[in-house]
Chains A and B, each alone.
Chain A
Amino acid sequence: MRPRLAAPVGAVFAALAFAATLWGWLLAGGGTVDLPWAPSWDLRFTLALDGLAALYSLLATGIGFAVTVYASRYLPLHLEHQGRSEADIPRFHFFILMFMGSMVGLVMAQDLILIFVFWDLTAIASYYLIGYDAHERDSRRSALMALLVTGITAVCLLIGALMLYAAYGTFSLPALIEASEPGALLAAAGALIAVAGLAKSAQVPFQFWLPRAMAAPTPVSAYLHSAAMVAAGVFLLGRFYPLIQKTDWLLDALLVVGLGSMAVGGILALTRNVLKQLLAYSTISQYGYVVFMFGLGGEYGAVGASFYVIAHALAKAALFLTAGAVTEATHGETRLSHLGGLRRELPFLMVASGFSAAGLAALPLTIGFFKDELFFEAALERGGVFPALAVAGAVLTFAYTWRFWSGIFLGERRSEAHGVPAAMTVPVAALGALVIAGGLYVAPFARLAQAAGEVTFNAPTPIDPAYHLDARAENLMALATYALGVLVILSRSFWIGAAEAFARLGELAGPERLYFASLKGLNAFSDRIHDLEVRDLRTRVATILGPTGVLVGAGLLFTPTRGAYEVGAIGPLDWPLFLALILVAVAAIATVFPRRHLTLALVLSSVGYILAVVFAFFGGPDVAMVQVLVETIMALLFIGILVLLPRKVLEREASNPIPRRRKVRDAGVALIAGFFAFAVSWSTLSQPALEESVAQEHIRLAPEAHAKDVVTAILADFRGLDTLGEITVVGIALLGIATLLSRGRLW
Chain B
Amino acid sequence: MKTSVMTRVVARVLLVPALVVALAILIKGYADTGDGFNAGVIAALGMLLQYVAFGYEEAERMMPVRLVAVIAFGGLLLSLAVALLPLFWGLAIFTHVPGPGEEVIHLGTVELITPVVFDIGVFMLVFGFAVGAIDLLARAIHRRET
Contact = CB atoms under 8 A, between A and B. Distances in A.
Given A633-B45, A709-B30, A730 B118 contact: no
B130 to A, nearest CB: 6
B10 interface: no
Question: Which of A630, A705, A716 gathers most chain B CB within 10 Å?
Answer: A716
A741 B125 contact: no
A636 interface: yes
A727 B29 CA distance: 18
Contacts of B83: 720-721, 724
B44 interface: yes
Interface in A331-361: none
A708 B130 CA distance: 28
B19 to A, nearest CB: 15
Interface string A719-747: 01101100110110110011001100011
Nearest to B41: A629
Interface in B94-146: 94, 96, 98, 100-101, 104, 111, 113, 115-116, 118-119, 121-122, 125-126, 128-130, 132-134, 136-141, 144
Contacts of A730: 125-126, 129
Given A626-B37, A626-B38, A712-B119, A644 B29 contact: no
Contacts of B32: 708-709
Interface in A529-564: none
A707 interface: yes
Interface in A553-598: none
Given A625-B34, A737-B133, A705 B138 contact: no
B139 to A, nearest CB: 7
Contact of A717 (B75, B96, B101, B140): B96
A731 B94 contact: no
A713 B30 contact: yes
Interface string B7-50: 00000000000000000000001111111111001101100100
A475 to B, nearest CB: 67
B92 to A, nearest CB: 10
Contact of A709 (B35, B93, B134): B35
A742 B138 CA distance: 11
Nearest to A704: B100
A235 B72 CA distance: 51
Bin the interface of chain A by size. Answer: 35 or more
Contact of B137 (A622, A641, A715, A728): A641
Contacts of A731: 72-73, 76, 125, 129
B124 to A, nearest CB: 10
User: How would you classify the secondary structure of chain B's contact residues: helix, strand, loop or mixed?
Assistant: helix
A629 B45 contact: yes
Given A630-B41, A709-B30, A727 B122 contact: yes
B136 A737 contact: yes
B144 to A, nearest CB: 7
Contacts of B80: 724
Bin the interface of chain B by size. Answer: 35 or more
Nearest to B96: A717
Given A637-B133, A741-B139, A727 B76 contact: yes
Interface in A679-735: 704-709, 711-713, 715-717, 720-721, 723-724, 727-728, 730-731, 733-734
Contacts of B65: 747
Contact of A644 (B45, B76, B100, B140): B140
Given A637-B134, A708-B30, A713 B115 contact: yes
Contacts of A640: 134, 137-138, 141
Question: Which of A712, A715, A720, A741 gathers most chain B CB within 10 Å?
Answer: A712
B30 A742 contact: no
A631 to B, nearest CB: 10
Interface of A: 621-622, 625-626, 629-630, 632-633, 636-637, 640-641, 643-644, 646, 704-709, 711-713, 715-717, 720-721, 723-724, 727-728, 730-731, 733-734, 737-738, 741-742, 746-747
Given A720-B115, A746-B132, A747-B69, 19 more contacts: A622-B33, A622-B34, A622-B38, A632-B45, A640-B134, A644-B144, A646-B144, A705-B115, A706-B30, A706-B111, A707-B31, A708-B31, A711-B35, A720-B94, A724-B80, A728-B76, A730-B129, A734-B132, A737-B133
Q: Please list the 10 inter-chain residue pairs (A to B) with the smallest Cβ-Cβ separation, ordered nearest first.
A: A716-B115, A704-B100, A629-B41, A746-B69, A640-B137, A720-B94, A712-B35, A741-B140, A741-B136, A731-B76
